[in-house]
Amino acid sequence: MAGTAERMAKNQKQVAISEFFEKNKHFLGFDSLTRSLITAVKEAVDNSLDACEEARILPDIKVKITKLDDKKNIVELQTEDNGPGIPKRSIEKVFGQLLFGSRFHAIRQSRGQQGIGITGVVMYSQLTTGGKTHVRSKIATETSAAVVDIGLDTRKNKATKSNEGREVWEADDGTLKEHGLEITCRMKAKYQRGRQSVYQYLRMTSIVNPHADITFVDPDGDVHHWPRVTERLPRKVESIKPHPHGIHLGTLQRMCTESTDTRMTSFLYKNFSGVSSRAAKQLLEAAEINEKAKPKSMKPDQIRALLESFQGERELGGKPVKLLNPPTNCLSPIEELLIKKGLSKTIDSRFVTTMTRAATVSQGNPYQVEVGLIFGEGMAADKPVEILRFANRVPLMYQQGGCLLTKAIESVDWRQYGLDQAGGRGVPKGPAAVLVHLASTNVQFTSEAKEALADNGEVMDEVRKAMLEMGRGLRKHLEKKKKMVKVQEKFELVNDIIPAIAEKSAAILKRPMPNLSGSITKIMGAVIAESTTHWNKTTKMTDVSITLFNYTSRARAYTLLASWPESEGAGMENNTTGGRKEATGVWAWKLETLEPGTTYTISYSLSGLERGDWTETDVFYRGSQEVIGASKMDEKLLDEIRRQEARANEVDHEEDVAPPDEETVSAAVPVVSEEAKPSGQQTLMGFGSDA
């Protein structure tokens, strides 16, 4: 009898595991034929990116989808990376391990742990086609690659291996592959185009992983390539300890029972971030727990009391115990310049603005918001803007409407920034794409499907602030563009049309060609600045040219100033007209008197930049007569830049004298107060002055 019971219990467990997959398809990402394919690609690519990041390798990722049976919707998916590979003995564990979430204690920003990882793909493949997943893995220390077919024994809930072997792995160009992983599997799935597609997923992935080189071969054999735009790997993220504000009862309970600490004070001080030894004592006092008590001996009531004092519900001296914020260096933002590059490579456009807000904390969890906006030609003007949502560098492709990030975008009145929006609410229309990235150690989703971020007032505020800032940049750009169009028209008018009218009328009347200067001065009556900023393929520099035209009847004198990305490491070359540095990122030229009807041209090149880094130069002037095509220098802003500069220099100086210990910094980091923030938010032209 006992044997039967045991067998039954065992059976029950087996059923539970295969049923688990079936029942939870929707949040494992395998609920439709289209989505299953996206999920499979996602699991594989996320693993590749994580592995490369961990091993500090610049990722080269290839994804290939082939249709095998159109009627039955059978496709083959092959992914390949240049990551460290998996040692032969571990392959089985990585691909056959079901339901082993291992990151309960480590709190850090990670790509996901969505679903059950690559094992889910192996299982889905087997369930829908009966086939095995073919794995080829090469690690650097071995000369050949390990190959194996992985399946799952759903009875025993473990991986099965077959056709094990070793082979030489040659890359497409015939060279030997140093290291990497290749996965090939068949599954019932459907390849589709559109907003929710493998293509879109990879495109979005490439935007937020500018260090990755991604190639995708679609079922039609078309090759899509998103090249690497930076050699810089994302910063290695540090794990941090949990913060008292973000902990749940169950976790606290477990931490206590598992603790080997002898006293509660050291338990708190060692296992939590933001808790000094003084704060530890205060927390315990508020919870009425003896400092010397053993964590293991904590009673449920006491743990509950401790949690209450964590959350400030139990006070000490009429006030909640003050805790430091957790460190934010555990976050890995993409950073403005790289977002810019990422966006520029996938969308052809003239104008990109990006912003990385300072890291901050909500309910004990560090988080950071980054946004980007790209505007211009390549996109439809009468369609809603494209919203690109990301959480910890993972694209969010479903449930756009229910997502906090979308709601934040919808809550902005975009009409004031030059986009169409019915009633000033909702997703705006226009030739633009908006990117939002939330990096956090604890991303809150609306559901297990992990496709939409849950409401959070603080995060919403951060996103909104960033949107408004970008909106202002967009408005400035559009105003400038409009102005430039007008200037261009005036130029065409006086340079081409008026001379043609004079010539033609003289010819018809058989009279001499009249002098035009009077008419032109009359028509223009203005001083005009025209500037161009172009990438020069040959010299690999950005050429800038600024020409000032005096179309008035009097002589004029000006000082011209131009913005340039000095703080982004650019160098100014071939500046034959001299001038001097006015402030960081602002160069000035004092011009000689410009006689009526004459012009003056300044030209220089910017080195140390890449294509797309610098596409627009702002021109300013000092002088009494208005200059069309330039802005009057705002001296107050200039002073502000100089002040920031001075402050930054001081900081530099201090750092030179006493380089701080890393540990100290991470413990004391969260002092990111509003006024000390060296952000790009107050600068003159929207380029950062972060020293």
Pick the closer one to other proteins by CB: 87 or 499.
Answer: 499
CA 573/CA 501 separation, integer angstroms: 42
Pick the closer one to other proteins by CB: 469 or 530.
Answer: 530
Q: Is 519 in the site for other proteins (CB under 8 A)?
A: yes
**How many separate helices (H) and strands (E) can be counted in the chain?**
17, 24
Q: How far is the CB of 599 from other proteins (least distance, A)?
A: 20
Pick the closer one to other proteins by CB: 523 or 672.
Answer: 523
Q: How far is the CB of 522 from other proteins (least distance, A)?
A: 6
Residue 75 bridge partners (DSSP): 67, 187
User: Which stretch, 106-114, 453-461, 520-528, 663-671, contacts other proteins (CB under 8 A)?
Assistant: 520-528
Pick the closer one to other proteins by CB: 249 or 501.
Answer: 501
**Contact status, residue 182 vs residue 325, Cβ threshold 8 Å:** no
Pick the closer one to other proteins by CB: 484 or 572.
Answer: 484
According to CB under 8 A, which one of 227, 424, 514, 571 is a site residue for other proteins? Answer: 514
SS3 category, 126: helix
Q: How many residues bind other proteins (CB under 8 A)?
A: 25
Pick the closer one to other proteins by CB: 402 or 597.
Answer: 597
Pick the closer one to other proteins by CB: 262 or 495.
Answer: 495
Q: How far is CA 402 from CA 369, 409, 436, in A?
A: 18, 12, 15
CA 416/CA 324 separation, integer angstroms: 39
Q: How far is the CB of 525 from other proteins (least distance, A)?
A: 10
Q: How far is the CB of 552 from other proteins (least distance, A)?
A: 14
DSSP string computed for 172-218: TTSSBP-SEEEEEEEEE-----SSSSHHHHHHHHHHH-TT-EEEEE-
What is the H or E stretch that residue 296 is in? none
Pick the closer one to other proteins by CB: 1 or 509.
Answer: 509
CA 674/CA 669 separation, integer angstroms: 14
Q: Is 511 in the site for other proteins (CB under 8 A)?
A: yes
Pick the closer one to other proteins by CB: 223 or 513.
Answer: 513
Residue 215 CB-density burial (10 A; 0-12 exposed, 13-18 middle, 19+ buried)? middle
**Contact status, residue 440 vs residue 392, Cβ threshold 8 Å:** yes
Cite the beta strand spans of 481-570 per DSSP E. 526-536, 541-551, 559-563
- Close Cβ partners of 211 (under 8 Å, ≥ 6 residues apart): 58, 59, 228, 229, 230, 231, 232, 233, 234, 338
Q: How far is the CB of 516 from other proteins (least distance, A)?
A: 7
Q: How far is the CB of 618 from other proteins (least distance, A)?
A: 25
According to CB under 8 A, which one of 33, 516, 526, 572 is a site residue for other proteins? Answer: 516
Q: How far is the CB of 498 from other proteins (least distance, A)?
A: 6
Site string for other proteins, 623-662 (x = CB under 8 A): ----------------------------------------
Q: How far is the CB of 521 from other proteins (least distance, A)?
A: 8
CA 111/CA 367 separation, integer angstroms: 14
Q: Which of residues 306-345 bind other proteins (CB under 8 A)?
A: none
Q: How far is the CB of 378 from other proteins (least distance, A)?
A: 25
Pick the closer one to other proteins by CB: 511 or 537.
Answer: 511
DSSP 8-class letter at 24: T
Query: Which residue, chain included where needed, has tokens 């009425």?
Result: 288
Pick the closer one to other proteins by CB: 167 or 503.
Answer: 503
Q: Which of residues 521-540 bind other proteins (CB under 8 A)?
A: 521-523
Tokens of 154: 């759903």
Q: How far is the CB of 495 from other proteins (least distance, A)?
A: 11
CA 281/CA 293 separation, integer angstroms: 12
Q: Which of residues 479-508 bind other proteins (CB under 8 A)?
A: 489-490, 492-493, 496-498, 500-502, 504-508
Q: Is 233 in the site for other proteins (CB under 8 A)?
A: no
User: Which stretch, 406-414, 446-454, 510-518, 636-644, contacts other proteins (CB under 8 A)?
Assistant: 510-518
Pick the closer one to other proteins by CB: 144 or 517.
Answer: 517
Q: How far is the CB of 626 from other proteins (least distance, A)?
A: 18
Cα Dmax for the chain: 122
CB neighbour burial string for 527-545, b if at least 16 within 10 angstroms, e if fewer: bbbbbebebeeeeebbbbe
According to CB under 8 A, which one of 509, 657, 658, 671 is a site residue for other proteins? Answer: 509
Q: How far is the CB of 39 from other proteins (least distance, A)?
A: 50
Q: How far is CA 232 from CA 72, 211, 228, in A?
A: 44, 6, 10
CA 601/CA 530 separation, integer angstroms: 9
User: Which stretch, 26-34, 185-193, 222-230, 514-522, contacts other proteins (CB under 8 A)?
Assistant: 514-522
Name the pairing type of β-strands 74-81 and 60-69: antiparallel
Q: How far is the CB of 490 from other proteins (least distance, A)?
A: 8
Backbone phi and psi for residue 685, each to the nearest 5 degrees, phi listed first: -120, 10
Instruction: List residues near other proteins by CB under 8 A.
Output: 489-490, 492-493, 496-498, 500-502, 504-509, 511, 514, 516-519, 521-523
